[in-house]
Amino acid sequence: MNRPAVLLAALVTFGLAVVVFLLGQNLILSLPVATERGAGVPWYITWAMVWVTAICGLVLATFFIRSTARKK
């Protein structure tokens, strides 16, 4: 792949990581509400999945950017 395509893929991947986090904030209930409904443990599991997905997106975007570095 050429450099602009890789950088575009990195930008899109970074954007998706941000979108995943924002969707998590907007769609997942707050901890007090989830605890009140008896869903405390699933709340933690759901947020762990959101964080893992967002971090994987950031790592992949970083990998794409680092892959464009020229080897000397």
**Segment 10-57, tens digit of pLDDT:** 999 999 999 999 999 999 999 999 999 988 899 999 999 999 999 999
Rounded Cα distance, 29 and 40, in Å: 10
Confidence of residue 1 (pLDDT cuts 50, 70, 90): low
Q: pLDDT value at position 40?
A: 87
pLDDT at 71 over 90: no
pLDDT for res 72: 52
